[in-house]
């Protein structure tokens, strides 16, 4: 851990002013990831700007029929909020699939979007890692890569994004509201996280002088047909090997709308709108789910230890869509897979 | 007896849950300085240069110690050999010289006024290395592994018998490196008293072992050093040997001439010690009727470049079941990692995992129920020495365990049992461990107020030693439990070995018994001397202590209160200390046994495994405390589930470095992974093992559990995964 300054942000404008004036500073809210990374000397902020007292803890209905979630709403409050639990159970379920109750109590909505990969090498400053130290190389590529990406990776980085909540937000087509020196802007969720490319040190398209103020959910909530299915190395408190957020709407027996997002397989929550488009109008059958799974993974590529994820993801997609179609979503408290 | 055998709650429970129980890192002193360790980033080579300039310039930094500037330590490697060090080799000497022996090795110690300053400054120490070629992979080094002597001799001609056997099974089973991961971090606080004397609060399973070690390393006289470990947040064997933080903390206190606290990080603890990665090769030859002809067991385990750590992995295979021919080989493969260590039931946990999976596979080959196979191979005599056991109720473990589990409803066919989308598997295994006892001394001070204080140097590593000591002493002194206080974990207390091997309960209880007997004699003498004593004509043999009184058992409980006898004899207190010496007796084998039955449910499509039920039936002599003993067995079962399904230290063999050195990425079972665990203590009276019939329960709970789970996974899926842990990817492969 390094020596750092600590300041508080008086309001959002002050937060933006402070971070614009000190690009090596970091915002801190729940600190559930940042503090760990600081202890390991991975994050070395010059200053922590405490935003935890900013008025960003509301969950409000929007005129468009959706929800606006303040960036500081704790993950547990979000998951258990009546409007979320009833109208966006996919989001609630994904949140409850992640971390532990204690971590969810501390972790904020905005912070969840910004959590960093759990790649072993990223966490260990004794090893090469392009994400932590650009240009130093990727030790995971030829090292321990069982947890790593099968989709969208680059020569520079094969890390995955660790969030469960973000997988659901991707499926729900949430929007991220941010504020910066030039004012506010809205980023579509699909554009928020990045693929690693040649710049794996950048996880998101958030600019260094911007702050997340809210996450907005559209009206469409898929409350009747959804499932969040997470496969991991123990039954709770482990990062996903593969996670699937599946959501369906039907017109009689045909699929009217579908959302499919994967976690644990790429540098960002993985969605493929062409696969969803191809599913529209199809029956909710195992065959169409299998076709979708095949299409989702057509470009998947495994490394020495993680090739199993391709078949696992294929099966998990079929299962999650089956659960969603049947209206029997995966329970996050009963660990038996439905 | 009022307390022995009852489910007595922990006498230290309140202190622990209210935070008044102080651990090694809690000790405080005015002027305390704090240490932070800098560790090597390479596994082998030498330190070319250490630049501590930037660290030293940080305000509040007191010093940076390394091999270049540390105070004097012993040169002789023998000085570093503690009571449980491997016989062969030279122990690791922290900050001794420029040699790097493993990644994560301590190479510098930053000392500062505050812990945060020390930790920050530690990040500023710049180290240059000369890197040497290294190897950390057992599978690469197995060809160069060398055989070490084993405690058990072969019998018959296993090779020929195997070749001639009607049914054969040969397979290799693999256990990766596992870490103990006790929840308490390793910590030492050294109080510097200015008079040349040191008081060291250390997280250790053996205060006297650490004391002797520090005296040798720093050339101290025993009176100049006191080591305390009153409470411990888990050890599992990781605290048997002195760990480097205590050496560095003493080094620092001597360098600064002030008190020092050093707490390791979770990540740093992975470089202390571990259960060695081991290949267990089993070769079984059987008759078609289901009896064993031959057992061959070869273990190949990693050890460090500087010490030969080996345990008895293989001997269990020739002991547990009747077979005329048996052969054992234990090989060590040198790798550039720290020396492995004992970890809960060392040797048995790994060796019996291999044996009990192999027996399951043999049962499949023989088309026999796995319990039936074990009963056909049952041995009432120890096979190594052809001697009887002091007691062996393993048959009863099978019977009671199977009955409670409902084993008779099992369909032998793999993949034959289902619960909706899940395959159901039932597996079982046997467990075995030793019933050991060590020389131990206990002091009892009985006050005229009817209060007794029991003291012994043993540590309570969280198993419940404080409680069983109080129970045994209360019963043998005839006092209420509340009238007994217990002092443990202090090197100045009467002599005890390290707390390990499941020997503590038997060892300390018999030392209490011996000392309590001296108290009884003293009280009898005092009682007899009282005017008009009702015990004037009594014989010592008939005297007992009960309900605070000295009584004649033969005479209707006639007696006098202890307090009266002491008052008349003008004694405020009676103090006795004696050592119970254990005589070697090779006429009988001494073991604990268990039968474990496990149920798993496996999602067929996704390979997700849930352990839904475990029944563990244990025969371990007299159970002193059914509550704490049950907790021990349950903890062992949870450890076994972790071994079967979760635990694995990942080593990047290109970097020679452990990569999941934290308890987010090193998986142990969480609540969701642990369901119903039923513990049965089979009645096993045994007056041969020792007078009180105590065998110990610390290790037996984990032995065999991983095999029972693995066998259940096979039964559920028809897929035999021999490499632990059994993860989704291996099951789908």
CATH number where B53 lies? 3.90.1170.50
Question: How far apart are alpha carbons B597 and B652 in whole angstroms?
Answer: 35
Read off the tokens for A322: 């089956």
CA distance B174 to B172: 7
Residue A111 has pLDDT above 80, yes or no: yes
| Cβ–Cβ < 8 Å for B206, B240 | yes
Tokens standing for B514? 């011996």
> Which chain B residues touch A311 with a CB distance below 8 Å?
732
Contact list in B for residue A96 (CB cut-off 8 A) is none
Confidence of residue B303 (pLDDT cuts 50, 70, 90): very high
Taking the alpha carbons at both ends of chain A, their separation in whole angstroms is 44
- pLDDT tens digits, B24-80: 999 999 999 999 999 999 999 999 999 999 999 999 999 999 999 999 999 999 999
Question: Can you give the pLDDT at residue A1?
Answer: 74
pLDDT tens per residue, range B700-729:
999 999 999 999 999 999 999 999 999 999
The percent of residues in chain B predicted with pLDDT above 90, rounded, is: 98
Using one digit for the tens of pLDDT, what is the confidence trace for B257-266?
A: 999 999 999 9
**How many angstroms separate the CA atoms of B83 and B501, rounded?**
14
Specify which residues B486 forms β-bridges with: B454
Q: Which of B624, B630, B647 is nearest to B694 (CA)?
A: B624
Q: Indicate the helix (H) or strand (E) that contains B592.
A: strand B591-603
Rounding to the nearest 10 degrees, give the CA dihedral for residues A49, B36, B232, B496: 180
Question: For residues A300 and A262, is the Cβ–Cβ distance under 8 A?
Answer: no
Query: Are residues B421 and B554 located together in one domain of the fold?
Result: no
pLDDT reported for residue A311: 98
Work out the minimum CA distance from B304 to partner chain A, whole angstroms.
21
- Hey, is the C-beta of A334 within 8 angstroms of any chain B C-beta? no
Binned at pLDDT 50, 70 and 90, residue B235 comes out as: very high
Kindly name the residue from B184, B499, B648, B699 that is annotated as catalytic: B699
CB–CB of B648/B178 below 8 Å? Answer: yes
Q: In terms of domains, do B465 and B377 share one?
A: no
Is pLDDT at B92 greater than 80 in this prediction?
yes
- Do B674 and B715 reside in the same domain of the chain? yes
Exposure class string for A36-71: b at 16+ Cβ within 10 A, else e: bbbebbbbebebbbbbbebebbebeeeeeebbbbbb
Q: How many CB atoms lie within 10 A of CB A173?
A: 18
Q: Which residues pair with A255 in a beta bridge?
A: A250
B410 & B443 share domain = no
Q: Which two tokens stand for residue B215?
A: 């005296």
Residues on chain B touching A142 (C-beta within 8 angstroms): 654
Contacts of B263 in chain A (CB under 8 A): none
Domain-embedded: residue B597: yes
Measured CB to CB, residues of chain B less than 8 Å from chain A are 41, 58, 103, 116, 119-120, 123, 265, 267, 421-422, 601, 603, 605-608, 610, 645-646, 650, 652, 654-655, 657, 659-660, 662, 664-665, 667, 669-673, 727-729, 732-733
Across the interface, which of A41, A238, A319 has its CB nearest the CB of B605? Answer: A319
Does B733 have pLDDT greater than 90?
no
Could you tell me the CATH superfamily of domain A226-326?
CO dehydrogenase flavoprotein, C-terminal domain (3.30.390.50)
End of a domain among B528, B549, B580? B580
Please, are residues B504 and B698 in contact by the beta-carbon 8 Å criterion? yes
Confidence of residue B237 (pLDDT cuts 50, 70, 90): very high
Name the token pair of B643. Answer: 């071994």
Domain shared by B562 and B699, yes or no: no
Enter the DSSP assignment of B710: H
For the question of residue B149 being annotated catalytic, the response is no
**Which position has the token pair 């003008």?**
B570
**pLDDT over 80 at B638, yes or no:** yes
The H-or-E segment that residue B45 falls in is strand B45-51
Q: Do B605 and B509 belong together in one domain?
A: no
Q: Is residue B158 part of a domain?
A: no
B532 DSSP assignment: T
Q: Where are the alpha helices (DSSP H) in chain A?
A: 12-21, 34-39, 75-80, 82-87, 89-96, 101-106, 109-113, 120-123, 165-172, 189-192, 273-279, 286-296, 308-326
The residue-averaged pLDDT of A301-317 equals: 98
Report whether pLDDT(A155) > 90. Answer: yes
**What percent of chain B is helix, strand and coil (3-state, nearest 5)?**
30, 25, 45
Q: Is A82 helix (H, G, I), strand (E, B) or coil?
A: helix
- The reported pLDDT for the residue numbered B251 is 97
Could you give the ipTM of this predicted complex?
0.97
Which pLDDT value is given to residue A184?
A: 97
B196 pLDDT higher than 90: no
- A236 to chain B, any CB pair closer than 8 A? The answer is yes
Q: CA-CA distances (angstroms) from residue A188 to A170, A174, A176, B248, B323?
A: 9, 7, 6, 54, 70
Q: Which of B475, B693, B691, B684 is nearest to B1 (CA)?
A: B475
For chain A, what is the total number of helices (H) and then of strands (E)?
13, 12
Q: Indicate yes or no: CB of A144 within 8 angstroms of CB of B610.
A: no
B161 in a structural domain: no
pLDDT band, very low/low/confident/very high, at B150 (cuts 50, 70, 90): confident
Instruction: Quickly state the pLDDT bin for B675 (edges 50, 70, 90).
Output: very high
B603 shares a domain with B563 = no
Work out the minimum CA distance from A3 to partner chain B, whole angstroms.
6
Domain boundary (B553, B580, B607) is at B580
Give the residues across from B286 on adjacent strands: B167, B292
Nearest CA to A230 out of B667, B423, B728 is that of: B728
CATH of domain A5-52: 3.30.43.10
CA distance B280 to B175: 8
Band of residue B151 on the pLDDT scale cut at 50, 70, 90: confident
Which SS3 state, helix, strand or coil, does residue A51 take? Answer: coil
Q: What is the mean pLDDT of residues B103-132?
A: 97
C-alpha B48/C-alpha B426 separation (Å) is 57
The mean per-residue pLDDT over the stretch B297-311 comes to: 98
What is the tally of structural domains in chain B?
Answer: 3
Q: Is the pLDDT of residue B579 over 90?
A: yes
> What contacts B633, CB < 8 A, 6 or more positions away?
B616, B618, B679, B697, B700, B701
Note whether B45 and B124 are same-domain residues: yes
Residue B555 has pLDDT above 90, yes or no: no
- Residues B692, B557 share a domain: no
User: Is the pLDDT reported for residue B650 higher than 90?
Assistant: yes
| Residue A129 burial by Cβ neighbours in a 10 Å radius (0-12, 13-18, 19+) | buried
How many angstroms separate the CA of residue A337 from the nearest CA in chain B? 7
The domain boundary, picked from B580, B596, B619, lies at B580
Confirm if B418 and B603 have CB atoms less than 8 A apart.
no
pLDDT at position B595? 98
Q: What is the pLDDT of residue B556?
A: 75
Nearest to A308 among B123, B421, B732 (CB): B732
In a domain, B107, yes or no: yes
CB neighbours of B259 closer than 8 A, spacing ≥ 6?
Answer: B29, B30, B31, B32, B33, B189, B190, B191, B192, B253
What are the tokens at B60?
A: 């509040």
Domain assignment present for residue B712? The answer is yes
Count of CB atoms within 10 A of residue A266's CB? 23
Q: Give the percent of chain B with pLDDT over 70.
A: 100
Instruction: For residues B594 and B554, state if they share a domain.
Output: no
Please give the Cα distance from A123 to B662 (Å, whole number): 10
C-beta neighbour count of B582 within 10 angstroms: 15
Instruction: Determine the Cα–Cα distance for residues B481 and B473; give it in Å rounded to an integer.
Output: 8
pLDDT of residue B659: 98
Is the pLDDT reported for residue B273 higher than 80? yes
d(CA A321, CA A248): 8
Band (B557; pLDDT cuts 50, 70, 90): confident
Rounded Cα–Cα distance for residues B506 and B500 (Å): 12
Q: What whole-number distance in Å separates Cα of residue B264 and Cα of residue B607? A: 37
Q: Is B112 a member of any domain? A: yes
DSSP-assigned letter for residue A118 = -
d(CA A86, CA B17) in angstroms, rounded, equals 39
Q: Which of A88-92, B170-174, B583-587, B717-721 has the lowest mean pLDDT?
A: B583-587
Mean pLDDT of A68-72: 98
Give the pLDDT confidence score for residue A280 in this predicted structure: 98
Residues of A in contact with B709 (CB under 8 A): none
Pick from A40, A233, A335: which is nearest to B672 by CB?
A335
* ∠ CA B553-B558-B560, rounded to 5°: 110
For residues B515 and B620, membership in a common domain is answered with no
Q: Report the C-alpha gap between A117 and A99 in whole angstroms.
A: 14
pLDDT of residue A174: 98
pLDDT category of residue B383 using cuts at 50, 70 and 90: very high
How confident is the prediction for chain B on average, in pLDDT? 97
Contact with chain B for residue A233, Cβ under 8 A: yes
- Residues spanned by the domain of B205: 17-133+185-234+239-269
For B449-484, write each residue's pLDDT tens digit: 999 999 999 999 999 999 999 999 999 999 999 999
The closest CB to that of B422, out of A39, A231, A336, belongs to A336
A237 reaches B (C-beta below 8 A): yes
Query: Smallest Cα–Cα separation from A130: which of A155, A162, A163, A160?
Result: A155
Contact between A127 and B601 using a beta-carbon 8 Å cutoff: no
A135/B contact by beta carbon, under 8 A: no
In this model, does residue B86 exceed pLDDT 80? Answer: yes
The pLDDT of B536-547, averaged and rounded, is: 95
- The neighbour count for residue B487, using CB atoms within 10 Å, is 18
Asked whether the bond before B414 is cis by omega within 30 degrees of 0, the reply is no
A308, B204, B371, B380, B400 from B375: Cα distances, Å: 40, 41, 6, 11, 14
Residue A269 has pLDDT above 80, yes or no: yes
pLDDT surpassing 90 at residue A3: no
Domain boundaries, chain A: 5-52, 226-326
Same domain for B709 and B624: yes
**Which of A234, A264, A313 best tests the B interface by mutation, with the highest count of B CBs <10 A?**
A234
Bridge partner list, B160: none
């Amino acid at each position: 851990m390094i020596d750092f300054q600590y300041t508080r942000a008086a309001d959002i404008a002050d937060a933006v002013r402070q971070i614009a004036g000190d690009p090596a500073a970091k915002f801190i809210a729940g600190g559930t990831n940042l503090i760990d990374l600081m202890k390991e000397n991975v994050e070395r902020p010059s200053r922590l700007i405490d935003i935890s007292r900013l008025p960003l803890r509301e969950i409000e209905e929007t005129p468009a029929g959706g929800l606006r979630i303040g960036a500081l709403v704790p993950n547990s409050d979000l998951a258990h909020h009546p409007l979320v639990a009833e109208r966006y159970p996919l989001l609630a379920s994904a949140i409850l699939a992640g971390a532990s109750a204690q971590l969810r109590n501390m972790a904020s909505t905005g912070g969840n979007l910004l959590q960093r990969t759990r790649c072993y090498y990223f966490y260990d400053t004794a090893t090469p890692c392009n994400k932590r130290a650009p240009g130093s190389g990727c030790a995971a590529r030829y090292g321990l890569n069982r947890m790593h990406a099968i989709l969208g990776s680059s020569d520079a980085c094969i890390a995955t994004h660790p969030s469960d909540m973000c997988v659901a937000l991707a499926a729900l087509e949430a929007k991220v509201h941010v504020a910066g020196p030039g004012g506010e802007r809205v980023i579509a969720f699909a554009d928020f996280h990045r693929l690693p490319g040649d710049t794996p040190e950048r996880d998101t398209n958030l600019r260094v002088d911007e702050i997340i103020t809210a996450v907005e959910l559209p009206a469409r909530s898929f409350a009747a047909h959804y499932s969040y299915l997470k496969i991991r190395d123990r039954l709770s408190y482990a990062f996903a090997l593969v996670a699937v957020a599946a959501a369906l709407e039907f017109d009689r027996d045909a699929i009217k709308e579908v959302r499919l997002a994967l976690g644990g397989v790429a540098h960002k929550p993985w969605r493929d709108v062409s696969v969803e488009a191809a599913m529209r109008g199809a029956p909710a059958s195992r065959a169409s789910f299998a076709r979708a799974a095949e299409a989702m993974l057509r470009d998947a590529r495994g490394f020495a230890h993680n090739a199993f994820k391709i078949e696992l993801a294929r099966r998990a997609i079929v299962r999650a869509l089956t659960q969603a179609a049947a209206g029997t979503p995966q329970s996050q408290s009963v660990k038996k897979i439905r | 007896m009022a307390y022995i055998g009852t489910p007595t709650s922990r006498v230290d429970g309140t202190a622990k849950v209210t935070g008044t129980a102080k651990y090694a890192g809690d000790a405080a002193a005015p002027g305390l300085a704090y240490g932070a360790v800098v560790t090597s980033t390479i596994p082998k080579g030498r330190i070319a240069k250490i630049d501590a300039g930037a660290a030293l310039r940080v305000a509040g930094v007191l010093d940076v110690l390394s091999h270049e500037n540390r105070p004097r330590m012993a040169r002789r490697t023998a000085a570093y050999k503690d009571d449980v060090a491997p016989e062969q080799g030279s122990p690791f000497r922290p900050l001794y010289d420029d040699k790097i022996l493993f990644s994560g090795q301590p190479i510098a110690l930053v000392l500062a006024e505050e812990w945060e300053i020390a930790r920050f400054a530690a990040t500023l120490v710049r180290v240059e290395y000369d890197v040497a070629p290294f190897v950390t992979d057992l599978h690469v080094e197995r060809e160069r592994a060398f055989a070490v002597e084993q405690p058990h001799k072969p019998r018959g001609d296993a090779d020929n018998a195997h070749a001639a056997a009607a049914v054969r099974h040969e397979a290799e089973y693999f256990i990766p490196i596992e870490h103990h991961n006790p929840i308490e971090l390793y910590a030492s606080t050294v109080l510097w008293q200015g008079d040349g004397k040191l008081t060291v609060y250390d997280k250790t399973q053996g205060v006297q072992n650490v004391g002797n070690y520090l005296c040798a390393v720093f050339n101290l006289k025993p009176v100049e050093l006191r080591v305390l470990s009153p409470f411990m947040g888990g050890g599992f064997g990781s605290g048997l040997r002195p760990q480097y933080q205590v050496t560095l903390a003493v080094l620092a206190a001597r360098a600064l001439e002030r008190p020092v606290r050093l707490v390791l990080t979770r990540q740093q603890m992975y470089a202390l010690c571990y259960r060695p990665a081991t290949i267990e090769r089993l070769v079984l030859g059987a008759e078609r009727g289901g009896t064993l002809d031959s057992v061959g067991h070869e273990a190949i385990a990693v050890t460090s470049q500087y010490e030969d750590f080996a345990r008895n992995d293989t001997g269990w295979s020739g002991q547990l079941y009747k077979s005329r021919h048996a052969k054992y080989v234990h090989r060590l493969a040198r790798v550039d990692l720290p020396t492995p260590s004992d970890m809960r039931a060392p040797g048995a946990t790994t060796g019996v995992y291999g044996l009990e999976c192999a027996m399951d596979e043999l049962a499949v080959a023989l088309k026999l129920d796995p319990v039936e196979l074990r009963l056909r191979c049952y041995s009432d005599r120890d096979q190594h020495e052809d001697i009887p056991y002091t007691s062996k109720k393993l048959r009863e473990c099978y019977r009671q365990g199977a009955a409670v589990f409902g084993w008779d409803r099992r369909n032998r066919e793999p993949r034959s049992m289902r619960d909706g989308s899940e395959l159901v598997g039932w597996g079982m295994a046997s467990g075995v461990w030793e019933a050991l006892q060590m020389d131990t001394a206990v002091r009892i001070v009985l006050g005229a107020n009817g209060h007794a204080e029991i003291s012994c140097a043993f540590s309570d590593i969280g198993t419940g030693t404080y409680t069983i000591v109080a129970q045994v002493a209360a019963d043998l002194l005839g006092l209420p439990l509340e009238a007994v206080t217990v002092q443990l974990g202090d090197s100045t207390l009467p002599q005890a070995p390290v707390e390990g091997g499941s020997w503590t309960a038997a060892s300390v209880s018999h030392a209490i018994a011996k000392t309590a007997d001296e108290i009884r004699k003293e009280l009898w003498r005092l009682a007899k001397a009282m005017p008009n004593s009702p015990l004037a004509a009594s014989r010592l043999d008939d005297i007992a202590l009960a309900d605070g009184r000295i009584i004649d058992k033969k005479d209707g409980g006639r007696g006098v209160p202890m307090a009266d006898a002491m008052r008349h004899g003008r004694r405020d207190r009676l103090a006795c200390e004696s050592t119970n010496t254990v005589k070697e007796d090779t006429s009988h084998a001494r073991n604990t046994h268990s039968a474990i039955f496990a149920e798993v449910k496996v999602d067929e499509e996704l390979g997700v495994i849930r352990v839904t039920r475990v029944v563990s039936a244990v025969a371990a002599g007299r159970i002193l405390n059914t509550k704490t003993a049950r907790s021990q067995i349950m903890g062992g079962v949870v450890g076994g589930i972790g071994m079967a399904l979760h635990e694995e230290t990942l080593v990047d063999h290109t970097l020679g470095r452990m990569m999941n050195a934290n308890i987010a990425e090193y998986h142990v079972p969480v609540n969701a992974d642990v369901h119903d665990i039923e513990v049965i203590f089979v009645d096993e009276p045994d007056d041969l093992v020792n007078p009180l019939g105590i065998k110990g329960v610390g290790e037996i709970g984990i032995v065999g559990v991983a095999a029972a789970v693995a066998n259940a996974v096979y039964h559920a899926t028809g897929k035999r995964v021999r490499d632990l842990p059994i993860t989704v990817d291996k099951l789908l492969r």
